[in-house]
Amino acid sequence: MPFSSLGLSPALLKVLAEQNFTAPTPIQQAAIPAILNQKDVLGIAKTGSGKTAGYVLPILTNLQQTVIVKNRHVKVLVVVPTRELAIQVIEVFQLFSQALPQTIKCMAVFGGVSINPQMMALQGVNVLVATPGRLLELVEANAVHLSGIDTLVLDEADKMLNLGFKEEMDKIIALLPVKRQNLLFSATLSKDIKLINQLLLQDPEVIQIAEEPGTFDTITQVAYKVTDDKKGPLLRYLIKQHDMKQVLVFASSVYQADAIVNKLGKNNIDARAIHSKKSQGARTEAMRLFKSNKLRVLVATDLLSRGIDIDFLPYVINYDLPRSPKDYIHRIGRTGRAEATGEAISLISPEEEHHFSVIQKKMGKQVEMIDSQSLKVV
């Protein structure tokens, strides 16, 4: 089925062709017609499945039929958990909106940077992508009004409650008009998603793209048994021994991420950390360098992983295991995308072996385990 059969704006179809998007993904094929028909949608599909374009394209098409009125009264609100995801989403909106005959101004707002430029730039904005805290600050300053929202999108909706956003989300939802279109997208179907579905959605189109048994076929997974004190040397050995470039390393905490970067740097491996304690400028620069393959290693925490979207990322390394098997799948799903191959490596301490067995069972796949003592790790 081609994009041209879904009812999208001709201008958007032209951009899709220019960007070599030949056919919609399963989530796009199901979500686009539903959103065009003004239905509420709950979309569940794995990371890298095209969820963002799945709502951006029909929203922009619908806005073309809307008369834009009242300054600072936005029509579309997209709420996301992190600044990095806000930047990623707004880039998709801007890519497609610039080709439309009717001007649609799109903007992202988030904390960690000065609020004043954002307040001034909100004039005439039609589509606003925002993190909850900064959005509420702007509302309180009368820089933006939410009473005219036609469409609400919660991207990574599973994170909007379990990352401690519930109180802020309650405040935001209370400011919205009762009659609106609600679109919830997530990589996983959790209890939180079911709850927010009941609270927000009216007779929704529920789209759940099942992960097929071959989901991990493009990802080579391997694990190394190693004691905690040897994880750092093993990480450096693997990077140097295999001449790895563009390596995404996941750490369990901000402190751990910084410690890993420090040790890598002392061993002449170019690395930066990206986490909540870094300034927005530092995070943006690290992402820019990493995406352009000018930074060898990026060390991230789970909170920040949602904004790391690279089609051909070759390596993901779990320095520490995540708490949830779903987060493990989300992490390794950063590689092996767009039909490219990738490698996911996990460093497993004795204390993590049982948890890793649980992850493998949930994933339905056995991972090769190598004893690092057999390697010549210095």
pLDDT at 308 over 70: no
Query: Lowest mean pLDDT: which of 61-70, 77-86, 120-129, 302-311?
Result: 302-311
Residue 307 has a pLDDT of 55
Q: How buried is 94 (Cβ within 10 angstroms: 0-12 exposed, 13-18 middle, 19+ buried)?
A: middle
Which tens digit of pLDDT belongs to each residue from 117-151?
Answer: 999 999 999 999 999 999 999 999 999 999 999 99
Pick the more confident residue, 355 or 191: 355
Identify the band that residue 191 occupies on the pLDDT scale cut at 50, 70 and 90. Answer: low
| CA distances from residue 336 to 30, 118, 269, 293, 331 in whole angstroms, order as listed | 23, 36, 24, 17, 11
Residue 264 has a pLDDT of 95
Mean pLDDT value across the chain: 87
pLDDT at 186 over 80: yes
Residue 276 has a pLDDT of 76
Residue 22 has a pLDDT of 80
Pick the more confident residue, 91 or 281: 91
Q: Domains for the chain: give ranges and CATH numbers.
A: 3-208 (3.40.50.300), 219-373 (3.40.50.300)
Q: At what angle do helices 83-97 and 280-291 cross, to 10 degrees?
A: 60
pLDDT at 202 over 90: no
pLDDT at 197 over 70: no
Residue 190 has a pLDDT of 66
Residue 213 has a pLDDT of 41
DSSP codes of every residue in 166-199: HHHHHHHHHHS-SS-EEEEEESS--HHHHHHHHH
Please report, in angstroms and rounded to a whole number, the separation of the first and last CA atoms in the chain: 54
289's CB contacts (< 8 A; 6+ apart) are 272, 295
pLDDT at 215 over 60: no
Residue 203 has a pLDDT of 84
pTM above 0.75, yes or no: no
Residue 129 has a pLDDT of 97
Structure-block tokens of residue 149: 């929202």
pLDDT at 259 over 80: yes
The residue assigned the tokens 């995404």 is 248
Query: Lowest mean pLDDT: which of 55-69, 171-185, 300-314?
Result: 300-314
Identify the band that residue 214 occupies on the pLDDT scale cut at 50, 70 and 90. Answer: very low
